[in-house]
Structure 1
Amino acid sequence: MSGPARRLVVLRHAKSAWPDGVPDHDRPLGTRGLRDAPAAGRALDPPDLALCSTAVRARRTWELAAAEWAAAPPVRFDRRIYEAPPARLLEVVRETPPEVRTLLLIGHSPGLEGLIEGLAGEAAGDTLERVRAKFPTSAVAVLDWNGADWTALAPGTARLTSVTVPRGERTPRGERTPGGEKAPRGEQP
């Protein structure tokens, strides 16, 4: 492929809580998620644009990660990312404006893993095996590719360059998390 280098950074939302009676879309982050989302922000360079699921846990992951940067880049919240299969995620990514060089996609399992596996024509080291084995909450996958614009992104055209799982430091129960929330007393960090 010819054209400028582009980067797709895929971030699975941070660990969520499971409060009784709360619909899946509205589940908040759990204690671990509240400390891991800022760690994800510290591990990433700010993208040119972020595409984020509308689920509460994804939106909060975005807010806490973006708060770690000097200035938050633009974000688009898109309901189609929630519970999306890989093909739908690829459609959403292909709508990215051509001036965007680095795109951050924040979403959910298992669609994200399928997208990564499908796009990765090449992979550095054991990165693809790691995604296949488990892509846990707060995991970050970086895919690089060359293309004139995002509409050309297709299965097998990217190189999976890294997979990391940023983790924040434990917060003692009852103390404030990096996101400012008080860690629940009854929940183990």
Structure 2
Amino acid sequence: MKTLYLLRHAKSSWKHDVIDHQRPLKQRGLNDAVLVSKHVVEQVKAPQKIISSDAERAMTTALFFKEAFKVKDEDFTTNHNLYDFGGRQVLEIIKNLNDSWKRVMIVGHNHAFTSIANMLGDEYIENLPTCGFVKLQFDEKNWRDVNVGKTKLTVFPRHLKTKEDE
């Protein structure tokens, strides 16, 4: 059995004069990363590996989850191919994961992550929001064989906020 955690980066800021790849999180994104990571760590087992896009906003988001799950440095890595908005490269990464890993978290971008969640899960998600988390579970023993699994959990920041938080 394989479990995949998909995490879209938290809300980024557009007020900095930097290239897209270097855009940081805005304060709301930082707050959401804390909120969602604290909630998710109570709901699921820690991933054995976290692989993040090397874009600033994705790496920063991933680090909140790394800390919350107490993932070791050697079990955290970045992959430039997760800086993908279509999904083909993301799917290739998933299919080539090390089969010794049962639980993996990948952190990246839309529209790729909404597409992958819908392609590999059994529940339709119209749009995976910023800092949205999805847990997918597969019966397969090898990552290359994963196809349609079960969407076991979705956590979006808006599910965890009260009206006063927004």
Task: Mark yes or no: TM-score above 0.5.
Answer: yes
Question: Quick one: structure 1 residues 70 and 79, their matched pair in 2 at CA, closer, same or farther if it must change by over 3 Å?
Answer: closer
Shift in Å at residue 107 of structure 1? 0.4
The DSSP-based 3-state class of the residue aligned with 1:67 is helix
Shift in Å at residue 95 of structure 1? 1.6
Residues 49-92 of structure 1 deviation map (CA, whole Å, 9 limit, x = unaligned): 11110000000001122222344461220111102422221101
Which residue of structure 1 lines up, in the alignment, with residue 11 of structure 2?
A: 15
Quote the Cα distance in structure 2 between the aligned partners of 1:115 and 1:68.
24
The DSSP-based 3-state class of the residue aligned with 1:33 is helix
Shift in Å at residue 39 of structure 1? 2.2
Shift in Å at residue 169 of structure 1? 7.3
Quote the Cα distance in structure 2 between the aligned partners of 1:71 and 1:103.
11
Does the alignment pair 1:150 with 2:143? Answer: yes
The DSSP-based 3-state class of the residue aligned with 1:68 is helix
Bigger helix fraction: 2
Quote the Cα distance in structure 1 between the aligned partners of 2:106 and 2:31.
20
Kindly tell me the number of residue pairs found equivalent between the two proteins. Answer: 157
Quote the Cα distance in structure 2 between the aligned partners of 1:38 and 1:140.
13
The DSSP-based 3-state class of the residue aligned with 1:57 is helix
Which residue of structure 2 lines up, in the alignment, with residue 140 of structure 1?
A: 133
TM-score normalised by length of structure 1: 0.76
Quote the Cα distance in structure 2 between the aligned partners of 1:34 and 1:78.
22
Instruction: Give the 5 Å matches for 1:125-136.
Output: 128=124, 131-132=125-126, 134-136=127-129
Gaps spanning 5+ residues in structure 1: where? 171-188
Q: Percent identity?
A: 24
Kindly indicate whether the alpha-carbon contact (under 8 Å) linking 1:142 and 1:160 is maintained by their aligned counterparts in 2. Answer: yes
Shift in Å at residue 119 of structure 1? 1.2
Quote the Cα distance in structure 2 between the aligned partners of 1:76 and 1:93.
14
Does the alignment pair 1:69 with 2:69? Answer: yes
The DSSP-based 3-state class of the residue aligned with 1:17 is coil
Question: Quick one: structure 1 residues 33 and 151, their matched pair in 2 at CA, closer, same or farther if it must change by over 3 Å?
Answer: same
Pairwise CA RMSD: 2.0
Kindly indicate whether the alpha-carbon contact (under 8 Å) linking 1:13 and 1:58 is maintained by their aligned counterparts in 2. Answer: yes
Which residue of structure 2 lines up, in the alignment, with residue 96 of structure 1?
A: 97
TM-score normalised by length of structure 2: 0.85
Quote the Cα distance in structure 2 between the aligned partners of 1:67 and 1:169.
21
Which residue of structure 1 lines up, in the alignment, with residue 34 of structure 2?
A: 38
Quote the Cα distance in structure 1 between the aligned partners of 2:71 and 2:89.
29
Kindly indicate whether the alpha-carbon contact (under 8 Å) linking 2:33 and 2:61 is maintained by their aligned counterparts in 1. Answer: yes
Residues 5-35 of structure 1 deviation map (CA, whole Å, 9 limit, x = unaligned): 2111100001111124211100001001111
Shift in Å at residue 48 of structure 1? 0.6
> If you compute each CA radius of gyration, which structure gives the higher value, 1 or 2?
1
Gaps spanning 5+ residues in structure 2: where? none
Question: Quick one: structure 1 residues 86 and 19, their matched pair in 2 at CA, closer, same or farther if it must change by over 3 Å?
Answer: same
